[in-house]
Chain A
Amino acid sequence: MEPTIIGRIGYAFVSLFVITNYGLLLIGSMARISAKVQGRVGQPVWQPYIDIVKSSAKRNSIGHGAMFYLGPVFRLAGGVGTYMFIPAVFGSVLFRNFSDSGDLLLVMYFIFFGQLGMALGAGEGGHPYSAIGVSRGLAQMTAFEVPFALSVIAVAAQYGTLDINAIVAAQQGGFAHWTLATNPLAVIAAIVAFLGMSGHNPFSVVIAPQEIPIGPPTEYQSNLLGMLQTNRAIFNGAKLVLYMNLYFGGATNIVAMVIKTFLIYFVNVFVGQAFPRLRTDQSIRFFLGAPTLVGIASVIIAVI
């Protein structure tokens, strides 16, 4: 039975709640896995929850003007907006979100909307390190967007649609139907872009925790920081679900969703622990080199 619009909004809240918790546990578990690689015990898996409670429980907070407060709001809107237009579980009423209201271009727009909003907010913070972080972040974003966009074009051309539901539907019926099997070059370009998008090593210079304090959110504290931390979980979840849908055949139940997204995110940790950090100019050259060529090749394969 088709739920009413109120019912769908209710389902969307449940879906958002699930992805927030999943995202937080994912961040916690990946930090613990990284620690094991480094020979440490590592933080508890639930540490992100404690951090958010702690940040939100700060007793005072400072602001630098309206745009400063709007930065995290835009970021959160970007994260929630991205997730709301992607079906988390194919064919599920509960996790369908509002995927039939928007298409792939809208989702791509939402991915970058948050970062631009954050750039404006962080700029008003007035801290020079925020400005450096923003300029590095936007420069790197412009670069990894090229292979990502090419790969999305390849997928759209291959399936002849921009509707994410239709793209997932076309990949049903086993591994041989996944984009991973039908157009592996598009997946390679997209995964490399994903490394840049996630900001792990070797593309972590944006938030470079030691050289430029924490990047754009240098001035953010207290509940604003709590909001950014929550968004990090939602946004990670949304990006993973998008990748799963576009390239790895989507998921027909929540267990498949968890396994697939975990493995996609694990690529970050795997690469991040093996490679040192690149400078901004090096990462821009990297993204505009081989990944872009692979992306162009994937478009050509899809069109032919």
Chain B
Amino acid sequence: MSEKKTIPAPLANEGLPPEERGLFCDAAPREYEPARGAWERFLNWARSESLWLLGFGTGCGAIELRPLMTSRFDMYRYGIQPRPTPRQSSVFVIGGYASVKTLKRIVRSYEQMMGPKFVLALGSCTINGGMYWDSYNTIKRIDQYIPVDVYIAGCMPRPEALLAGFQELKRIIKSGGGEGQNEYARNFDWYKANQKKVIKDWNMPDYNW
């Protein structure tokens, strides 16, 4: 974390062919000031009680999301519901191991989400690589690439553990701690450098607004 920089550099979008560069954002993300006092507490309460998760199964752990939606665990009663587009969702559940190929999609989807946005990483693979710790093609720690709010350990964690993780995420949001979007903007260069270190064929814009 010591390499973190504070001043964002202008984006070059070097991975894109010149004719496509104009189509994409060339400004780095910026930080957004939270509102103040009771108003922000109210908004945080609303954010925590209406968690729309991005229905993008990034790994084998996504299988645990299905029982959550159906009658046995029923996440809807906690205000959690799946949303198929990153534009509308506020929680990104990283479903276990992330191969480098998936990491590209994770980064693009995460950047397309509107803030405040939260990340819930599930399974040991997102913490230290888990059983894929020496794999040539998976990343080990997801929080080097996008900011993570809650980790749920286990291989696989049960749906109960996921629900406990969601409750923890709600607690964090209500206490005003869910500022992953600002953290990503503040340390944008550090995150980008880490992403580019593992993604060799970087053929996408530097920031997907």
A and B found bound together: yes
Chain A contact residues, CB within 8 Å of chain B: 31, 35, 38-44, 47, 50-51, 53-55, 57-62, 129, 209-210, 213-214, 217-222, 225
Chain B residues in 8 Å Cβ range of A60? 32, 114-115
How far, in angstroms, from A222 to B76 measured CA to CA in the complex? 21
The count of chain B contact residues (Cβ–Cβ below 8 Å) is: 29
A219 near B87: Cβ-Cβ < 8 Å: yes
Chain B residues in 8 Å Cβ range of A218? 85, 87
A59 near B76: Cβ-Cβ < 8 Å: no
Further 4 A-B residue pairs, CB within 8 A, beyond A40-B76, A219-B85: A35-B76, A38-B70, A50-B49, A221-B114
A59 near B181: Cβ-Cβ < 8 Å: yes
A47 near B116: Cβ-Cβ < 8 Å: no
B87 near A43: Cβ-Cβ < 8 Å: no
Q: What are 7 A-B residue pairs whose CB atoms fall within 8 Å in the complex?
A: A40-B71, A41-B77, A50-B79, A53-B50, A58-B115, A59-B114, A61-B114
Residue of A nearest to B73 (CB): A40
A53 near B79: Cβ-Cβ < 8 Å: no
How far, in angstroms, from A221 to B113 measured CA to CA in the complex? 9
A53-B46 contact in complex given A40-B77, A47-B79, A222-B114, C-beta closer than 8 Å: yes
Residue of B nearest to A211 (CB): B84
B71 near A220: Cβ-Cβ < 8 Å: no
Return A57 CB to nearest CB of chain B, in Å: 4
How far, in angstroms, from A41 to B115 measured CA to CA in the complex? 29
B88 near A62: Cβ-Cβ < 8 Å: no
| Closest CB pairs A-B (n = 10) | A213-B84, A39-B71, A54-B50, A53-B46, A59-B32, A221-B87, A213-B85, A40-B74, A41-B77, A57-B43
Whether a CB of chain A sits under 8 angstroms from the CB of B132 is no
How far, in angstroms, from A61 to B46 measured CA to CA in the complex? 18
How far, in angstroms, from A218 to B83 measured CA to CA in the complex? 10
Task: Say which residue of A44, A57, A129, A221 sits within 8 Å of B88 (CB atoms).
Answer: A221
Task: Say which residue of B76, B90, B115 sits within 8 Å of A42 (CB atoms).
Answer: B76
Residue of B nearest to A43 (CB): B76
How far, in angstroms, from A259 to B114 measured CA to CA in the complex? 39
A59 near B71: Cβ-Cβ < 8 Å: no
A50-B50 contact in complex given A59-B115, A210-B55, C-beta closer than 8 Å: yes
Return B190 CB to nearest CB of chain A, in Å: 21
Chain A residues in 8 Å Cβ range of B83? 214
Residue of A nearest to B42 (CB): A53
A220 near B87: Cβ-Cβ < 8 Å: yes
Whether a CB of chain A sits under 8 angstroms from the CB of B47 is yes
Return B185 CB to nearest CB of chain A, in Å: 10
Return B95 CB to nearest CB of chain A, in Å: 16
Chain A residues in 8 Å Cβ range of B133? none
